[in-house]
Structure 1
C-alpha cells in the first residue's frame, strides 16, 4: 500500500479491501462516460463502436497514470465539456477534421505537461478571472444538457418541447425527472443506474419506426475492435492550416484541463484528508504530470482531453486513500472494453438524463461567482447564453471575455497577459471566421 501512497513516509489509514470497494464505487459513479462520451462525439461522424473502445482505453490509461505516477485516489477519463467542444469544432466544419481536433488536444496536453513540471501552473490558473472560468464551466454544462435533450427527443430541431404522446419521448421525460431523485437520495451509481433502467425499458417501448428502442446484440461479450483509423490520427497540416481556430481551441483544451485538474484534485484530496497543514495537494507535481500524460496518450488513442473526474469523491467517501483506487478503476475500464456490444446497444434516450445531470452538476461553479459585481455577471451570462444558443463555445467565450476586459479597463481592475492574449486570439478567430463565411 505504501507504493500507492502520495506520502510514502506516512502509511495511509486504509486497507486493500477498502481500496477495492472504493474503486468499485468510483467506477460505478463514472461508468456512464463509456455511454455518454460516444454519444456526444458521434456527431463527428466517427463510428460509435470505435468511440466506445477509445473512451474505455483513454480512461484506462489516464487512471493508471494517476494511480502509478500521481498516487492519488483520482480516476481519469475523457472530460465532459471539452468533449462537447471537440465535437462542436469538428461538426461545424470550417475545415476542422477529427484529426485536426486531435492535434489541438495534443498541443494543449503538451503545454499542460510542460507547465505541470513548473510552478507556472499556479499563476496561469489564477490569471483567468473567476467570471470567465465560471461562465465557461456553466455554459458547457448547459450545452451538454441541450445535447441530451435533443438526442432524447425532448427538444426538437426547431426548439420546441417534444411530443409526449410518443412513448419514447415520454420515457425520456420520466428519466429526466426521476434520475435527480436517485442522485439526491445518494443511490450508488445513480446516473449509471438510470442508463441501465431506461435501456431495459427500451426493450418494450417502441421508437419512431415502431421497433423497440433497445436492440440487444447477438453477443454481449466480444474482443474489442482496435480503432486503427484514429490511433495516432493527427492532422497537423489541418492544424497549421487553420491556426485562427486551432490556437484558441488548443488554448481552451489546455486551460480547461488545468482548471478541471486543479478543482478536482483540491476537492478530492481535501475530502480524503490528504492535504497537508498548509492546504497543499500531496504529490501535486506528479499528479498534474499524470493528468497531462493521460491527455497526451489519450489523444494518441483518438480521444479528446482526458481529465480527473470529480466522481472520484465517491470512492474517497467509501474509504479510498491511495493510488491503488485509480489503478483498479483503470483495470475495470480495460475489462469493460470487451462488453462494447452491450454498451453500443444503449439508445440515445437512455443517455438524456445522464447528460442533463452532468450539465446540472457543472453549474455548481456558479456559487463561486460574486454576483454583486456587474462585470462578473455580464461576462458569465454572455458566455452561457451565447454558447447554448449558438452552439459555439468560442463565440460565447469571446463575448464574455471581451465584455469583462472592457469593464475591467474602465473600472481599473488589473488583468493579466493571459487574458489579453486570449482576447487577441479570439478577435482574430472572429475576424477570419466572418471573412470565411462571407467569401
Structure 2
C-alpha cells in the first residue's frame, strides 16, 4: 500500500483511507438508484443500466487511483444523465426515432474519445492549472454551496415553491428532523475528534430512520417516492442483469451530422467544466494543490475521467465523471488513490448486495453533504474582494451561479467569461492565457447553442 499510494508522504494511513472511501461511496451510492430509473425513461432496461453504472464506476475510480493517486471517485454524472434522457432521447422518441438511447450512447462515446485526445494534448490539464487563484477559490466555495443545496433537497429541507422558487420544507417530517439531527451528530463527533465522524453520522441517521419507520413516524409511500429504509431481498438475484455492450448507432450521424455535433458538444461542455470544477474544489480542500496553486498529476486525473466515459458508453450508461461527493471522503481524511480504490471495490460489491446499498436514503447523506459544504465554504477566506475587478467579479459569479442555476459548469462559465471580459475592458488582455481564450470561445459557442 505504501509503495503504491505513498501514504506516509500524504500524512495518512490505510484505516483513514478506507474510512474515507466508504464515506465517499455512501455519499454517492444514490446514483445506483437514480441513474437506472432516469435512463429507463429513455427506453433503456433499468437492470442493464444498474450493472453498467456500477461497473463503469468501479473501472473509472480504479483509473483515478492508479493514473493520478487522488481520493476522487467517479460514476455516471448527475445532470448530464438528465440531459441524456430528457433533452436527447425523449424528443427523438416523440419524433418517431426507435431506440434513441443508442444514438445518445454513440455521442457519449465520441465525447469520451475527444476527451482522451484533449488529455493527450494537455488542454484540460492546462485549463485546470491556469484558472486564476481567486476563481479557483470561488469555484470551491460555489461547489460547497451547490452540494449543500443538493443535500437540503434530498431531505426535503428545501422544497419547490411556485412563488419564491424555493421554500422551507415540513419541519416535522422525519426526513427533515433526522437530517438535522444527523448534522448535530457529525458536529459533536467532530468536536471530540472521533475518527470517521462523517461516516458514523450517515449510518446513525439511517439507523434512526429505520427506528422511525418501525415506530410508524416514517411512513412508506412508494408512489410518492418514500421507500422503505430496510433492505429488501424480495426478487433478489445474485447474478445482475447484463449491460448493453457496444449498443451504438452510427447510422444517425450520416443524415443528421449538425444535430449530432450539438449533442456531442453539450455532453462535452458539461463534462469538461464539471470535472475541472470538481477537481479544483476537492483538491483545494484536500490540500492537494501545490505552492503555485496547480494540481500535480492533473493529466492522469483527467484521463481517468475520459477513459471512464468511453468504458461507460461501451457498457451502456451516460457520461462518467468525477464526483463532487468525493469531498466527503476528503473531509474524512482521504488523501490518496486508496480512497478511490475503496469506493471502487464497494461499487463492485454493490452488484451483488444492491438491496443493502439502495436502502440508504438521501436524507441520511444530507448531514454529510451539508457538513462538507461548510468545510468547502472556508475557502472564501483565501479570496480577495478588492483590487483586480476581474478576479473579484469572476470569483463571485462562480460562487453564486453554481447553486442558483444548479450547475457547476454554469458557475465556471460565468466566472471565466466575466474574468476575460473585465481583463479586456481594463486594458489587461496580455494577462489572459491562451487556454482561457479557448475556454471563452467554447463558452460563447455554448451560449449560441442555447439560443
The equivalent of 2:4 in structure 1 is 4
- 1:289 to 1:403, Cα distance in 2 relative to 1, 3 A: closer
The equivalent position to 1:391 in structure 2, one of 406, 416, 422, is 406
Are positions 1:347 and 2:361 aligned together? yes
Are positions 1:200 and 2:207 aligned together? yes
The equivalent of 2:439 in structure 1 is 422
Task: State the Cα distance separating 1:178 from its structure 2 match.
Answer: 3.4
- Contact kept, 8 Å, 2:151 with 2:365, in 1: the verdict is yes
State the distance in 2 between where 1:143 and 1:279 align: 22
The equivalent of 2:96 in structure 1 is none
- Contact kept, 8 Å, 1:143 with 1:391, in 2: the verdict is yes
State the distance in 1 between where 2:118 and 2:406 align: 30
Partner-residue secondary structure (3-state), 2:231:
coil
Residue segments in structure 1 that go unaligned for 5+ positions in a row: 7-11, 435-439
- Contact kept, 8 Å, 1:220 with 1:341, in 2: the verdict is no
Task: State the Cα distance separating 1:223 from its structure 2 match.
Answer: 2.0
Q: 1:202-217 alignment to 2 at 5 Å?
A: 202-205=209-212, 206-207=217-218, 213-217=228-232
User: Which deviates the most, 372-381 or 36-45?
Assistant: 36-45
Q: 1:19-418 alignment to 2 at 5 Å?
A: 21=15, 23-38=17-32, 41=35, 44=38, 46=40, 53-68=51-66, 72=69, 74-78=70-74, 83-90=77-84, 93=87, 95=91, 106-107=109-110, 109-117=112-120, 122-158=125-161, 159-183=166-190, 185-205=192-212, 206-207=217-218, 213-218=228-233, 222-223=237-238, 225-226=240-241, 228-229=243-244, 232=246, 241=259, 243-244=261-262, 246-247=264-265, 249-258=267-276, 260-261=278-279, 289-290=303-304, 292-301=306-315, 302=317, 304-307=319-322, 309=326, 311=329, 330-372=344-386, 373-392=388-407, 395-413=410-428, 414-418=431-435
State the distance in 2 between where 1:424 and 1:57 align: 35
State the distance in 1 between where 2:298 and 2:249 align: 33
State the distance in 2 between where 1:121 and 1:283 align: 12
Q: Deviations over 1:166-200 (max 9, x none)?
A: 33332233224433444565443333333322222
RMSD: 4.6
State the distance in 2 between where 1:278 and 1:377 align: 19
Partner-residue secondary structure (3-state), 1:223:
coil
Task: State the Cα distance separating 1:343 from its structure 2 match.
Answer: 1.4
Residue segments in structure 2 that go unaligned for 5+ positions in a row: 93-99
State the distance in 2 between where 1:30 and 1:292 align: 21
State the distance in 2 between where 1:284 and 1:29 align: 23
Task: State the Cα distance separating 1:250 from its structure 2 match.
Answer: 0.8
- TM-score, normalised to structure 1's length? 0.72
- TM-score, normalised to structure 2's length? 0.71
- Contact kept, 8 Å, 1:222 with 1:340, in 2: the verdict is no
State the distance in 2 between where 1:282 and 1:126 align: 9
Partner-residue secondary structure (3-state), 1:201:
helix
State the distance in 2 between where 1:354 and 1:54 align: 27
State the distance in 2 between where 1:377 and 1:62 align: 36
State the distance in 2 between where 1:176 and 1:117 align: 43
Task: State the Cα distance separating 1:306 from its structure 2 match.
Answer: 3.9
Task: State the Cα distance separating 1:257 from its structure 2 match.
Answer: 3.1
Task: State the Cα distance separating 1:60 from its structure 2 match.
Answer: 2.3
- Contact kept, 8 Å, 2:119 with 2:125, in 1: the verdict is no
Q: Deviations over 1:309-361 (max 9, x none)?
A: 453686667xx7xx777656544442343211111222232232233344444
- Contact kept, 8 Å, 2:140 with 2:284, in 1: the verdict is no
- Contact kept, 8 Å, 2:22 with 2:342, in 1: the verdict is no
State the distance in 1 between where 2:249 and 2:378 align: 36
User: Which deviates the most, 93-102 or 365-374?
Assistant: 93-102
Partner-residue secondary structure (3-state), 1:160:
strand
Task: State the Cα distance separating 1:75 from its structure 2 match.
Answer: 4.5
- 1:328 to 1:420, Cα distance in 2 relative to 1, 3 A: closer
Partner-residue secondary structure (3-state), 1:157:
strand
State the distance in 2 between where 1:279 and 1:387 align: 22
- Contact kept, 8 Å, 1:139 with 1:387, in 2: the verdict is yes
- Contact kept, 8 Å, 1:108 with 1:251, in 2: the verdict is no
- 1:171 to 1:26, Cα distance in 2 relative to 1, 3 A: closer
State the distance in 1 between where 2:48 and 2:227 align: 24
- Contact kept, 8 Å, 1:375 with 1:407, in 2: the verdict is yes
- Contact kept, 8 Å, 2:37 with 2:46, in 1: the verdict is no
Q: Deviations over 1:374-407 (max 9, x none)?
A: 3333233334434433435555544433322221
